[in-house]
């Protein structure tokens, strides 16, 4: 038996695997060929042309027209308060100082920013409440219970 010679791997011997390279189809190159003149796009119409505007959905109402147009705007500088009701303050001992740090340590507020006290519920003990803002009704309830209100800047 004749021994088969192995081809050495050299630059001039390199070539792609058979079937891995396909010839690009050149369309619109003369009327004689299969893909000449209209280049396989049929005649006229939107699909024959290369001018489809962005956002076109084939005649369906586009997404930009389907979504609602809401009035007004969202203020990016809106200040959010962590809200505490007067009923929550009733859990403190008589004569305690209630500060934002104390409320956070007890897990009564999660929000990081400023604290506002609102008037929902009743207060039966005199407390010194320190917060960034108070509703008028909350201020009145705290003072009626014998407590004091201090606004923090």
Per-residue pLDDT reduced to its tens digit, 39-74? 988 888 877 888 888 888 888 999 999 998 888 888
Provide, rounded to the nearest whole percent, the portion of the chain with pLDDT above 90. 60
Q: In angstroms, what CA-CA distances link 152 with 61, 88, 105, 133, 148?
A: 54, 19, 18, 8, 13
The number of distinct structural domains making up the chain is 1
The whole-angstrom separation of Cα 115 and Cα 118 is 10
Q: Is residue 74 part of a domain?
A: no
Report if residue 126 sits inside a domain.
yes
CATH code of 122's domain: 3.100.10.10
Strands 114-118 vs 148-151: parallel, antiparallel or unpaired: unpaired
Domain extent, residue 132, equals 81-151
Distance CA 100, CA 23 (A): 74
Checking if the pLDDT of 152 tops 70, the result is: yes
In a domain, 127, yes or no: yes
Task: Tell me the per-residue pLDDT of 86-134, one tens digit each, with 9 for 90 and over.
Answer: 999 988 999 889 999 999 999 999 878 899 999 999 999 899 999 999 9
The model carries a pTM of: 0.52
pLDDT digits (tens, 9 = 90+) for 8-26: 889 998 999 999 999 999 9
pLDDT value of residue 75: 92
Measured between alpha carbons, how far is 134 from 120 in angstroms, rounded to an integer? 12
């Amino acid at each position: 038996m004749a021994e088969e010679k192995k081809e050495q791997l050299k630059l001039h011997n390199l070539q792609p695997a058979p079937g891995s390279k396909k010839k690009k189809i050149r369309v619109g190159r003369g009327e004689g060929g299969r893909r000449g003149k209209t280049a396989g796009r049929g005649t006229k119409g939107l699909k024959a042309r290369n001018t489809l505007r962005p956002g076109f959905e084939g005649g369906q109402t586009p997404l930009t027209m389907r979504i609602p147009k809401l009035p007004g705007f969202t203020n990016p500088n809106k200040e959010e308060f962590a809200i505490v009701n007067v009923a929550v303050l009733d859990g403190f001992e008589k004569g305690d100082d209630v500060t934002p740090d104390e409320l956070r340590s007890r897990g009564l507020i999660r929000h990081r920013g400023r604290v506002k006290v609102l008037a929902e519920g009743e207060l039966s003990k005199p407390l010194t409440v320190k917060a960034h803002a108070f509703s008028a009704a909350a201020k009145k309830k705290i003072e009626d219970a014998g407590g004091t209100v201090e606004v923090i800047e």
